[in-house]
Amino acid sequence: TGASHGFGRSLARLLAPQLGPGSVLLLLARSSEALAELAAELRAGAATGSDTGSATGSSGLRVQCVTADLGCAEGLRTATAALRELLQDASFGRLLLVNNAGSLGDVSKSFLDLTDLEEIDAYFSFNISSALCLTSTALRAFGERPGCSRSVVNISSLCAREPFPSWALYCAGKAARDMMFQVLALEEPGIRVLNYAPG
């Protein structure tokens, strides 16, 4: 998720050449134009086998795009429907889900400025609830398959552990996501779960 810009885009570029024949890389973000541009770049790299200078791995890679705003119910429905449809393919032997989408929010506001419940709920819905729903949907759709692996990566931050002035929502959101995925790891020991804070 959040594949059209920044860290998500860079990660997609790094992952693509590592994926073997028959793999599908599903890119999800709000910006359809940026997604299409990235997908074209990755498809071209897969066709030549030299996306990032690697001559192996990405041959036969399929790249699919889903344009969806995870901050609203309709966008989340679009994303979960796409995951369910893709993961019906019983030939897949491995699932890797990277929860990268997120928002810093309005860091011009201090704690005492945060009085609008709709704004706060919208922030947590996008940054926490959507990751929970997407992950649950993907894991249920893929299910336990003999000899197969399931991995979930939560892109975290130092802000999950340390407070920063004017970043109340972001720090709380990252801390909540870290704990949420720790619960998943505890409940489902057969799933590899990683909270990863770049840098």
Say yes or no to pLDDT of 51 above 60.
no
Q: Within the chain, where are the H helices?
A: 6-15, 32-48, 73-86, 117-124, 130-142, 168-187
pLDDT band at 58 (very low <50, low <70, confident <90, very high): very low
Of all residues in the chain, the percent with pLDDT exceeding 90 is 89
Say yes or no to pLDDT of 53 above 80.
no
d(CA 151, CA 44): 27
Identity of residue 168: A
pLDDT at 122: 97
pLDDT at 31: 93
pLDDT at 55: 37
0.95 surpassed by pTM: no
Tell me the per-residue pLDDT of 140-186, one tens digit each, with 9 for 90 and over: 999 999 999 999 999 999 999 999 999 999 999 999 999 999 999 99
The alpha carbon dihedral of 139, 144, 150, 156 has a sign of: positive
Note whether 41 and 65 are within 8 A (CB): no
Q: What is the DSSP letter of 129?
A: I
Tell me the per-residue pLDDT of 113-122, one tens digit each, with 9 for 90 and over: 999 999 999 9
Structural domains of the chain ordered from first start = 1-67 (no CATH), 69-198 (3.40.50.720)
d(CA 95, CA 135): 11
- Cross-strand partners of 172: none
